[in-house]
Amino acid sequence: MTRPLLDVRHLRKVYDDHGRIVEAIGDLSFSCAAGELVAIVGPSGAGKTTLLKCVAGLLDPSAGEVALDDVRVDGPPPAMAVVFQEYGRSLFPWLTVHDNVALPLRQRKAARDHVRGRVNAALAEVGLADAAGAYPWQLSGGMQQRVAIARAIAYEPKLLLMDEPFAAVDAQTRADLEDLTRSLWRRHAVTLLFVTHDIDEAVYMAQRVLILSSSPTRVIENLAIDLPAERDQLATRSSPRFAELRARVYAQIQRARQPGAAGPGAGGPS
């Protein structure tokens, strides 16, 4: 077996909420190989965002560890980029679209011409070559999220994390962004870990779906998605295999939502 790029081992996260102990993540282990596209789904309140923040190094786990490229994560690693759900709050409203994408590259002290080239290429890839001089708030929600994606791509991360990236846009935009994200993932050979509450989206996008239990969170199933690599909003979503996989994930999540159903051995890879 090849060495995983991302390794999450016995991760546990406990909050102290004014004296009340809240166990957000119970005991969670999984790994991602380099170049994989993995979706994480779970019932609402399953600590999906907490998990992603621990992986990103934005939160310290209470126990267990996250390793990227065999290096323990204790702060955001340099080879990682994040696309947040709240696109309106993750782009700097006082910077133009171009400067938003360029900012992380400038921090790396890249040469000026190099930065401009990379920014323009990234904006062209997400279809926003003409919007470089605009401010984020002058764009629609879907376009703002494209800017955030362009910023992540221009950064050339090994690991790209996305936290419910399309939850706040309309259905058509969402389908476009799903296909855009998949095509960028294939072209850039990046490892993509993405959290969603949308079962269809998880099955449509991913090579593998991790199904989480409700809090305290564990992985109840690690489901390989054996759909063809070429995916199409119409053909893929209407295929019988898609329906089977979708039904399986749905059933698991329904089970996870039952109180007390998330005992040890409730699932596991089948």
Q: In the complex, which residues of this chain contact other proteins (CB under 8 A)?
A: 56-58, 75-76, 78, 80-82, 84, 86, 89-90, 92-95, 103-104, 106-108, 135, 137-138, 151, 155
Min CB(103)–other proteins separation in Å: 7
* Residues 137, 139, 141, 146, CA torsion sign: negative
Give the nearer residue to other proteins in terms of CB position, either 102 or 211: 102
The answer to whether residues 28 and 219 touch, using CB atoms and an 8 Å cutoff, is yes
Min CB(170)–other proteins separation in Å: 14
Min CB(231)–other proteins separation in Å: 28
Give the nearer residue to other proteins in terms of CB position, either 128 or 245: 128
Min CB(53)–other proteins separation in Å: 8
> Which contacts qualify for 237-246: CB closer than 8 Å, 24 or more apart?
237/200, 237/204, 242/203, 242/204, 245/203, 245/209, 246/199, 246/200, 246/203
Strand ranges for the chain from DSSP E: 6-17, 20-32, 37-41, 63-68, 71-72, 80-83, 159-163, 191-195, 208-212, 219-224
Min CB(31)–other proteins separation in Å: 21
3-state secondary structure 91-105: CCCCCCHHHHHHHHH
Give the nearer residue to other proteins in terms of CB position, either 106 or 112: 106
Give the nearer residue to other proteins in terms of CB position, either 29 or 137: 137
Give the nearer residue to other proteins in terms of CB position, either 103 or 121: 103
